[in-house]
Amino acid sequence: MSVLDPSIVQKLKQAAGPSGWSEDPAEIAPHLREWRGRWKGESQLLLRPRETGDVARILSVCDETGTAVVPQGGNTGLVGGQIPTSGEVLLSLERMNRIRSVSLEDNTLIAEAGVVLASAQKAAGEAGRLFPLSLAAEGSCTIGGNVSTNAGGVNVLRYGMTRDLVLGLEVVLANGRVLDLMRGLRKDNTGYDLKQLFIGAEGTLGIVTAAMLKLFPKPAGYTTVLVAIPGVEVAVELLNRLQDFSFRLMTAYEIMERRALDLVFKHIPGTADPFPEHPGWTLLIEISNPSAFDATEALEQALARALEEGRIVHALFAKTARDREALWRLRETIPEAQRLDGASIANDISVPLSRIAEFIRSGEQAVRAVLPEARVFTFGHVGDGNLHFAVQAPGHDAALLAAREAIERAVQEETAKLRGSISAEHGLGLAKNDAIARYRSADEITLMRALKQTLDPKNILNPGKLLPSGRG
């Protein structure tokens, strides 16, 4: 670890204010540990600004002294983007956790970067509105991290990614200047839309300090149904049919392979197969109803027709809120069941909807070519083409983990062949920043590097993340 010049440390402490820093290794330690232990960071200085002005002063010092800084939100990232691996200064936004305003007329909420996602959801809810971003880490991930990783989650089908939910941003640039992009207008064609640059940039182009977010009406109720289908091909066809019918009021269209559910029934107490016989694939479909109507009856009719036609095998509607919770539990506990069952390798990929069935076949073949004992199961947000493609090898955990790199590579190659994405939701960070050089064109990488050079000429913002390490 490179040791910081004491005079730089002094300047940074001053910039962060009296209670805005720590050099105590015990205080710093939790920020350095990626929660699954896949990356271990090092940093001698933790900065905890309270205000945008603090961040601006800190970045001015970093710019002046060429000091690298790693921004961190809730430290829940899955690709290592939040970990300082080369002794960079750690800039935690956790104390910038105010909700600056909620406007019911404008349907907006302004949250600082350190606001925990669940707190933003809660503030929206208390105002009678919905902030629809929802994902597993919502109890600890932060708005700044959500914006910087363009977070996805379970409601993307209806509400889009974080990019679609951001109306304005406040960003501190590498040179310490504060960019106020908070106009928050639904229509504003006055030159380049600069905020787009920082969404999903993983803190490599600027530090997001606050975001103006879109609010939506709260659903009046839900129509939730578990549907068993004979094969994955039916999933996309049924999706389009139901979209047509419900007009994108559908908020979830999740797929679960038989083996994923079997793991749940095996490991998660209180779960059981709700169907008398269990075909290969199950869908969890949810429509969020406006107050004007309830889709349940219409969906019942549509699925009754699909049943008659032999397209679906069973359909089980949630009759109560508790039913709904039980159905969602089947989907939400898959990752936990997977962990309890032994080693596994997760792959966060997406492919065009038309290629999903093809990918599931060819992806499994590719994995087995690496490790014949491997078994694959798929679950995920099929409505977005986003599959969590999980690889296990029961009884061969050591062999599986030894083959991790080759398996990930094989899945990435199959994904790329079908013009898919090797990182649908989680980003690149340290985990896939080199891989991306294989799957985006040289011209794209060149342009990405040029943007990085333009916005961060001294390479002080989260260096070594997102861009391939090969050069520059």
Site for a copy of itself in 68-97 (CB under 8 A): none
Binding of a copy of itself by 427 (CB under 8 A): yes
Tokens for 151, please give them: 């977070």
Binding of a copy of itself by 248 (CB under 8 A): yes
CA-to-CA separations, 101 to 61, 127, 130, 207, 429, in angstroms, rounded: 30, 11, 15, 21, 31
DSSP-derived secondary structure letter, 36: T
Residues 269-308 that bind a copy of itself (CB under 8 A): 288-293, 295, 298-299
Residues 332-371 that bind a copy of itself (CB under 8 A): 350-354
Binding of a copy of itself by 178 (CB under 8 A): yes
Binding of a copy of itself by 432 (CB under 8 A): yes
Minimum Å gap between C-beta 109 and a copy of itself is 13
Choices 34-42, 65-73, 138-146, 155-163; region in contact with a copy of itself by CB under 8 A? 155-163
CB 307 within 8 Å of CB 249: no
Minimum Å gap between C-beta 240 and a copy of itself is 7
Helix ranges (H only) for 318-439 are: 321-332, 334-340, 356-370, 397-402, 404-417, 436-439
In whole angstroms, what is the distance from residue 21 CA to residue 89 CA? 10
Binding a copy of itself (rule: CB under 8 A), the pick from 326, 346, 399, 451 is 451
Minimum Å gap between C-beta 316 and a copy of itself is 20
β pairing state of 46-47 and 89-92: parallel
CB 70 within 8 Å of CB 91: yes
Place of tokens 């009406």: 217
Choices 67-75, 267-275, 362-370, 441-449; region in contact with a copy of itself by CB under 8 A? 441-449
Q: Is 368 exposed, middle or buried (0-12, 13-18, 19+ CB in 10 A)?
A: middle
Choices 42-50, 58-66, 369-377, 453-461; region in contact with a copy of itself by CB under 8 A? 453-461
Choices 138-146, 262-270, 275-283, 431-439; region in contact with a copy of itself by CB under 8 A? 431-439
Minimal CA–CA distance to 199: which of 159, 157, 143? 143
Binding of a copy of itself by 236 (CB under 8 A): yes
Helix ranges (H only) for 170-271 are: 195-198, 233-246, 258-267
Residue 127: Cβ within 10 Å count:
16
Minimal CA–CA distance to 345: which of 295, 411, 291? 411
Choices 3-11, 47-55, 115-123, 160-168; region in contact with a copy of itself by CB under 8 A? 160-168
- How many residues sit close enough to a copy of itself to count as binding (CB under 8 A)? 97
Binding of a copy of itself by 423 (CB under 8 A): yes
Binding a copy of itself (rule: CB under 8 A), the pick from 80, 219, 363, 463 is 219
Binding of a copy of itself by 469 (CB under 8 A): no
Binding a copy of itself (rule: CB under 8 A), the pick from 76, 209, 246, 333 is 246
Binding a copy of itself (rule: CB under 8 A), the pick from 5, 64, 244, 373 is 244
